[in-house]
Amino acid sequence: MANRTDPLAKSIRGTNPQNLVEKILRSKIYQNTYWKEQCFGLTAETLVDKAMELDHLGGTFGGNRKPTPFICLVMKMLQIQPEKDIVVEFIKNEDYKYVRALGAFYLRITGTDIDIYRYLEPLYNDYRKLRRKLADGQYALTHVDEYIDELLTTDYSCDIALPRIKKRSQLEHNGQLEPRRSALEDDFEEEEEKDEDEPLATGLDDEHEKDYYRGGSPTRDRDRDRRRDSHKYRDRDYDRDRDYDRDYDRDRDYDRERGRRDRDRDRDRDRHRLRDDKDYGRERDRERDRDARERDRRDRERGRHRSYSRSRSRSRDRKDRDDDRRKRHARSSASPARDEPKKKKEKKEKKEKKDDGTDHPDPEIAEANRLRASLGLKPLKL
């Protein structure tokens, strides 16, 4: 409730007046102790007392960007939206300079372009000192006229983005604003009046001199001749100086032209050198690419030859293995035919051995069969 805008307040530039302050700065102001304790319940009448207690101006300061009392009171004025007459009285107050600065800042962010120029430009004549709190917490010295110039010429002041205003020349061209009159124009007019009075006094002296030369005195004639000769010498000196100046200008033009010619020559030389360097660099890159392609080609041929020799050796090894296998196969196929009678004889003997019953599992029967075999009898059949 304490941070809401007055329901009777009008929107400024199409938005809530408090929205003219950035949201981050607005939240910092709402959380500030000075806002909660000193700005609670202030009205347009009691706001003046708080403004008279100000001893510096500024936006935020410190590591956590703490707002100053000056910016808190600006926020309070945006919340309650005092009348224009009260703001104008703030600006015209000559006893309290910070009250004037507060009113000027509020008018700058809420007023029209014509009102801003009309009420703030007269403050250029106020040269009183102001204390300004910087972002690091230190104080800096400034003046009222410098502060007003900052409000009229910059877009950012006291950590608040100022609304854009039209240029004064455009308002003067449209007839909405009269040309600015400086406070020093009165002094300039007095100086001009003094300059106009001096020719009148010199005119009287010229008349006395004419009367002096009107006579025919030898002394006056001598003075006239001396003055004429002095004019002649002066003209001669003037001609000499003029010739010298002409020669000096000619030499200077020649030197300038020669310097320009030398610079052009040096520029052309540098340009050709750069072009040659570029061509050399391009040719070097081309040769490097050519060498790289040649190296790749040699590597591919070497790899192809290596793979070919490897495949030849592999095929040779395969052929040798095939030959060995074929020879073994031939030997193995020839040996069974040669050993066949021996195997038949061994099978026959083994069969005969088995037929005599000597290999019977029962040792007694086997012993009996051996005995019967030695006697030539047939083995026992069990």
Res. 67 pLDDT band, cuts 50 70 90? very high
Q: Please answer whether residues 52 and 93 qualify as being in contact, where contact means their C-beta atoms are separated by less than 8 angstroms.
A: no
Taking each helix axis from N to C end, the angle separating 144-153 and 97-110, rounded to the nearest 10 degrees, works out to 10
pLDDT digits (tens, 9 = 90+) for 316-326: 777 787 777 77
Q: Please answer whether residues 104 and 121 qualify as being in contact, where contact means their C-beta atoms are separated by less than 8 angstroms.
A: no
Higher pLDDT, 236 or 274: 274
pLDDT reported for residue 130: 94
In sequence order, what are the residues at sequence separation of 6 or more whose Cβ sits closer than 8 angstroms to the Cβ of residue 177?
A: 114, 117, 118, 168, 171
DSSP letter string, 78-116: HHH---HHHHHHHHH-SS-HHHHHHHHHHHHHHS-HHHH
pLDDT digits (tens, 9 = 90+) for 354-380: 566 777 778 888 888 888 888 878 777
In sequence order, what are the residues at sequence separation of 6 or more whose Cβ sits closer than 8 angstroms to the Cβ of residue 184?
A: none
Higher pLDDT, 277 or 29: 29
Q: Tell me the C-alpha distance between 81 and 78, whole Å.
A: 5
pLDDT digits (tens, 9 = 90+) for 172-229: 888 888 887 776 666 666 777 777 766 555 555 555 555 544 444 555 555 666 555 5
Higher pLDDT, 307 or 364: 364
pLDDT digits (tens, 9 = 90+) for 249-297: 676 777 777 777 777 787 777 777 777 666 667 778 888 888 888 888 8
Q: What is the percentage of the chain residues whose pLDDT exceeds 70?
A: 72
Ranges of H-type helices in the chain: 23-30, 33-37, 47-52, 69-80, 84-92, 97-110, 113-120, 144-153, 168-173, 185-214, 218-355, 363-375
| Mean local confidence (pLDDT), 5-18 | 84
**pTM, 2 dp:** 0.51
Torsion sign over Cα 259, 264, 268, 271: positive
Average pLDDT, the chain: 79
User: What tokens does 17 get?
Assistant: 């007046």
Among candidate residues 76, 84, 134, 123, the one with its CA nearest the CA of residue 107: 84
Reduced 3-state DSSP string for 2-19? CCCCCCCCCCECCECHHH
Q: Tell me the C-alpha distance between 268 and 261, whole Å.
A: 10
pLDDT reported for residue 257: 75
pLDDT reported for residue 284: 80
Q: Please answer whether residues 101 and 148 qualify as being in contact, where contact means their C-beta atoms are separated by less than 8 angstroms.
A: no
Q: Tell me the C-alpha distance between 96 and 72, whole Å.
A: 18
Q: Tell me the C-alpha distance between 80 and 267, whole Å.
A: 68
In sequence order, what are the residues at sequence separation of 6 or more whose Cβ sits closer than 8 angstroms to the Cβ of residue 70?
A: 54, 56, 57, 58, 98, 101, 102, 158
Which one-letter amino acid corresponds to residue 350? K
